[in-house]
Amino acid sequence: MKKYFLTISAIFLCLIGFSTNPEGKIKINIIIKIQSDATELSRMASAFSTKAERRLFVVNSLKRQAEESQADLLDYLNELEINGVVEEIRPLWIVNSVSCYAEESLMDEISRRDDVLAVYQVEEFSLPEDENFSIPAERGDGREIAENILKVNADQVWELGYTGEDVLVALIDTGVRLDHADLQGQFWDGGAEYPNHGYDFYQHDDDPSDTHGHGTHVAGTIVGSGASGTQTGVAPGAKIMVLKVFHGDDNLTELTMCVEAMQFAVEHGADVMNMSLGQPLPDASVKLMMRQACDNTLAAGVVASVCAGNSRLIQMLAPVPYNIWSPGDCPPPHLHEDQMVNAGGTSCVICVGAVNFNDVLGDFSSEGPSTWSDVAQYNDYPYSSGSATNIGLIRPDVCAPGVNIKSLDFNTTNGYCLKSGTSMATPCVTGTIALMLSKDHELTPAQIDEILERTAIPLSAHKSNDFGSGRIDALAAVNAVGGNGAGEIDETAFVIYPNPTSDFIIINIPAVQTRFIASQYQIINILGEIVMSGEIIAENKRIDISNLPNGIYFIKIGDYSQKIVVEK
């Protein structure tokens, strides 16, 4: 399918247009001059002891700021609405802004107001046609696990007892086929107000049903249960909140709707957002809107897994440093050491590139870096080609399998299909984040990002604009999560031998890791059951396991675990 990519992607970029309603008004977004300082907001929120308390403080602060600073503008717009000049006024607080449909001549008048920072005409964009393309796939035999799950070792995380339980994922996409068998029991309970587990921000109703297929496939990679024969979900114990932002008939969206969905997710308790979407070549006003939303989302303690985009092969239209889609071009929560030569601000975005099952870069996966020197309010991450210091913002942060990914087909209630794109890699990262949060729900976005990057399988000498820090490893990431936050990543914590084994194992504790002496160990089977336990009292602890049947086990000491294979 990749041979069609250049032509299709060029068409995709040409499809970007301006949002208009049937009466000829254009959609505009008005950014208020008073904006929050997300860094200061985060500092103030840190006084609270839990993520939930910090989130509530940030949400209430942003709402209060918007209510106070938008009052005069809303009075003005409401008067114009009475006269038929303005329609569909929608104030936001995750970014202090107001969108509406208005006569084009009104833009100059609004831009001259003292309380307005910027006014711009909203552009619509569609998903790239290559992500519309899918290949039907056979249902598995009930034991089949999708190859991308095996590649990132997520199945081994389940054996440790972490499946994403108690984690809520906001899926900002084309919606979901709500009656697909592999998604039953996997949805957020929205109560009487949101009986269909989410919201449609294009139609402004509570039915986020998928009429396209993209969102259903993405959802399957996050939480697909395997009920129809193939386990596709990286985190089958998590729940998804379905936030539809694409119009079903023509497959269009725009970033103000995406920001509105982000706001909904933050207010309604989402732990992580999946955004397998993005706008190519946004202008400075759009980038300002998007980054402010991502900054405030970070302040609220919510992380977003966002695709890098599929524009690598069309750099004549979208050259570096503008090859990454927005919001994937926003900075991560944690700055890698390779970025520190050209450090800047942070936001909630973990940007995801795509590789195949051989860890070869997908030829479509967008190329970094990005830059923010073109947005006056930020003016960071300058880029100069060939410079050793002005390196821009390294994008992506990590990569994941995104070529020929098997997941759910929205054309049936129990089918599967193959799709390719950074959209398919992104939910693999989202699912991994859910696994990490099911081990420690208090992890911050910065801790999540740092762990993902430090435990990734390196595919380049340094963090690169192709692979980021490397291809994710879900097992290594979860093992690096400590009970009270990010644990120390130490591959020499202890050594098990012989392995495979038949009658005994020896736990070797290196001298620098003597903290493990006098620790409890547990041996856990693949069902998550503790089959043996005891105390380590010496540097070389011999354990008799002759009573264990053949199979795969995990030995756990503190926050570390290693696999044991018993063969007799």
Give which of 206, 227, 224 is closest to 169, Cα–Cα.
224
Q: Which tokens go with 30? A: 């008005």
Residue 541 has pLDDT above 80, yes or no: no
Which range among 162-166, 280-284, 323-327, 557-561 shows the weakest confidence by mean pLDDT? Answer: 557-561
Contact (Cβ atoms closer than 8 angstroms) between residue 560 and residue 507: no
Percent of the chain past pLDDT 70, that is, above it, reads 89
Say what the pLDDT of residue 24 is.
79
Rounded Cα distance between 491 and 484, Å, is 19
- The yes-or-no verdict on residue 342 having pLDDT over 90 is yes
| pLDDT (tens digit per residue) in 106-162 | 999 999 999 999 999 999 988 776 666 889 999 999 999 999 999 999 999 999 999
pLDDT of residue 518: 55
Note whether 134 and 418 are within 8 A (CB). Answer: yes
Query: To which CATH superfamily is domain 129-486 assigned?
Result: Peptidase S8/S53 domain (3.40.50.200)
∠ CA 367-368-373, nearest 5°, is 145
Give me the CATH code for the 495-566 domain, please. Answer: 2.60.40
pLDDT above 90: residue 519: no
The model's confidence at residue 542, banded by pLDDT at 50, 70 and 90, is confident
Do 171 and 240 contact (CB within 8 A), yes or no?
A: yes
Given this model, what pLDDT does residue 550 score? 85
User: What's the pLDDT band for 555 if we cut at 50, 70, 90?
Assistant: confident
pLDDT > 90? residue 228: yes
Alpha carbon distance 409, 516 (integer Å)? 48
Lowest mean pLDDT among 12-16, 264-268, 335-339, 472-476: 12-16
On the question of pLDDT at 182 being above 50, the answer is yes
Please state the rounded mean pLDDT for residues 320-325.
98
Task: Tell me if domain 15-121 and domain 495-566 are identical in fold.
Answer: no
User: If you average pLDDT over residues 283-287, what whole number do you get?
Assistant: 95
Sign for the pseudo-dihedral over CA of 207, 211, 217, 218: negative
| Averaged pLDDT, 33-56 | 93
Tens of pLDDT along 47-98?
A: 999 999 999 999 999 999 999 999 999 999 999 999 999 999 999 999 999 9
Residue 310 neighbours by CB under 8 Å, 6+ apart: 5, 9, 128, 130, 131, 364, 365, 366, 421, 422, 423
User: How much is the pLDDT for 129?
Assistant: 64
Query: Of 219, 224, 134, whose CA–CA distance to 175 is shortest?
Result: 219
Cβ neighbours of 384 (radius 10 Å): 14
**Predicted model pTM:** 0.83
- Mean pLDDT for the chain overall: 90
The confidence score (pLDDT) of residue 494 equals 65
pLDDT in tens, 258-270: 999 999 999 999 9
Question: Predicted confidence band at 526 (pLDDT cuts at 50, 70, 90)?
Answer: low
pLDDT computed for residue 511 by the predictor: 45
Q: Which pLDDT score, from 0 to 100, does residue 552 have?
A: 77
**Of the candidate ranges 19-23, 377-381, 396-400, 541-545, the one whose mean pLDDT is the lowest:** 19-23
Predicted confidence at residue 565, as pLDDT, reads 83
Q: What is the pLDDT of residue 488?
A: 42
pLDDT for 562: 75
pLDDT for residue 553 is more than 90:
no
What are 484-509's pLDDT values in tens digits? 333 443 444 567 778 788 888 877 66
In what helix (H) or strand (E) does residue 199 lie, and over which residues does it extend?
Answer: strand 198-200
Chain centroid offset of residue 392 CA:
22
**In a 10 Å sphere around its CB, with 0-12 CB exposed, 13-18 middle and 19+ buried, how is residue 350 labelled?**
buried
Lowest mean pLDDT among 21-30, 174-183, 387-396, 404-413: 21-30
pLDDT of residue 148: 98
- Specify the pLDDT at position 539: 56
**CA-to-CA distance for 64 and 71, rounded, in angstroms?**
11
Domain boundaries, the chain: 15-121, 129-486, 495-566
> Judging by beta carbons within 10 Å of its beta carbon (0-12, 13-18, 19+), is residue 515 exposed, middle or buried?
exposed
Per-residue pLDDT at 237 exceeds 80: yes
Cα Rg of the chain, angstroms = 24
pLDDT at residue 566, rounded to an integer:
86
Cα angle, residue 377 at apex, residues 371 and 382 outer, rounded to 5° = 25
Residue 315: pLDDT above 80? yes
Q: Region 541-562: what's the mean pLDDT?
A: 81
- According to CATH, what is the number of the domain 15-121? 3.30.70
CB-CB neighbours of 166 under 10 Å: 12
d(CA 439, CA 479) in angstroms, rounded, equals 9
